[in-house]
Amino acid sequence: MKKIGLVLVGILLVLVFWQFDFLSFINSMSQVSLLAFILLLILQIISQLLVNYQWCRIARNIGGEYNFFKMLYVNSRGSIIDSITPGVKVGGELTRAVLLKNELNYSTQEAATLVSIQKMVSFSSFFTLNLFAFAHLSGEIEIFQNIVLKIVVYSFLIVIITSLIAMFAWTSFLENKIIKLVPKSKWTSVLHRYMLTLLANIKALKGIKGEMYKQFLLSLSIWVLFPLKMILLVNLFTANYDWIFLSEVTYISYMMGMIPILPGGLGSFEGTMTSLLILMELNSSEALAITILFRFITFWFVILLSLLYAFIWKMGGMKSGICKTKAST
């Protein structure tokens, strides 16, 4: 069955590329000047540095190691694994947790809770933005008006957002409830300790005046930079666009990319973004060019930077180790 599916996908790709106007696509790509492209890359670097700063800020406030450059190495390695992990990128988060233990001397519980809190803060902004984006697009785009699709998407978003709000708003209540539970196996005991550590660290963050608001504002700022890059990119192709629609396209495409189909959300992200851009009355060549350029800036460029930084970090560590060995002899 899997082989049949691959054959059908292959046939579909052949038909698509057979009818595709590659000359128009190349002309569309050439509309982006080198200076504009570099500016977009710089904005992506700023986004990555802000994400790393958020990790460091949370780590500092829960009493962990928060060296900026060590944390950047942890996140770089995590990003590399994200690129080969389907959809929700669990592999990248596991990698970060392991490296927090090995590189920054976190305990297993501390590493797991730092990863969890950062994701919770980030997702709280991301899914809230997606809720508003889908609510608006479902009234504008026919395919999103399907009642089954609406029920599935709204249910998913509301459950996730409500769960995150509960964790942050009723921390003490949840902690008291979990304390009373008696683990009946090794794994439930591990989960029990993890939940108590997680809630204790959330309480520590909440105990710092205004810290949670700052974390949510920082997370929101990071996510706002993503559609900003899209708007600047589309502006190079046409002045006839709705910046709100473009922002919504960006968020919905990212959410679709979280579906665990292919590594890094490949395919689902590109398909969603290109289709929605075509609805904006861009021709298919321009829509695909924008999608590929945006994907390179926000995905492939990040992977290349992460590989470079991880390599430099490892080389620095190796040189340091060699110097220490020579000194001892």
Q: Summarize pLDDT for 284-318 with one digit per residue, the tens.
A: 788 888 888 999 999 889 999 999 999 999 887 65
| Number of neighbouring beta carbons within 10 Å of residue 128 | 20
Q: What is the mean pLDDT of the chain?
A: 83
Lowest mean pLDDT among 141-145, 215-219, 257-261: 257-261
Q: In this structure, are residues 167 and 120 in contact, taking their beta carbons and an 8 Å threshold?
A: yes
Question: If phi over 0 gives left and psi between -120 and 50 gives alpha, with beta otherwise, what is residue 265?
Answer: left
In a domain, 18, yes or no: no
Q: Model-level pTM?
A: 0.83
- Residues 131-142 as b or e (16 or more Cβ within 10 Å = b): bebbeebbeebe
| Distance linking the first and last C-alpha atoms of the chain | 62
In a domain, 23, yes or no: no
| Number of neighbouring beta carbons within 10 Å of residue 269 | 25
Q: Which domain holds residue 100?
A: 45-313
In a domain, 324, yes or no: no
Examine the pLDDT at 39 and tell me if it is beyond 90. yes
DSSP for 112-166, please give it: HHHHHHHHHHHHHHHHHHHHHHHHHHTTT-GGGG-HHHHHHHHHHHHHHHHHHHH
DSSP 85: S
Q: Where are the alpha helices (DSSP H) in the chain?
A: 2-19, 22-29, 34-61, 68-82, 90-104, 108-137, 147-169, 171-179, 186-206, 211-235, 243-257, 268-279, 284-295, 301-328
In a domain, 321, yes or no: no
pLDDT of residue 15: 44
On the CB side of 4, CA atoms within 13 Å amount to 1
Phi, psi angle pair for 263, to nearest 5°? -55, 135
pLDDT tens-digit readout, 40-77 = 999 999 999 999 999 999 999 988 889 999 999 999 99
In a domain, 228, yes or no: yes
The vertex-168 CA angle with 80 and 173, nearest 5°, equals 135
In a domain, 211, yes or no: yes
| Number of neighbouring beta carbons within 10 Å of residue 240 | 9
CA-based nearest residue to 92, from 302, 268, 316: 302
Question: If phi over 0 gives left and psi between -120 and 50 gives alpha, with beta otherwise, what is residue 286?
Answer: alpha
Number of domains present in the structure of the chain: 1
In a domain, 276, yes or no: yes
Q: In this structure, are residues 303 and 80 in contact, taking their beta carbons and an 8 Å threshold?
A: yes
pLDDT of residue 20: 54
One-letter amino acid at 54 equals Q
In a domain, 302, yes or no: yes
Q: In this structure, are residues 197 and 109 in contact, taking their beta carbons and an 8 Å threshold?
A: yes
DSSP 280: T
Examine the pLDDT at 319 and tell me if it is beyond 50. no
The vertex-233 CA angle with 231 and 234, nearest 5°, equals 65
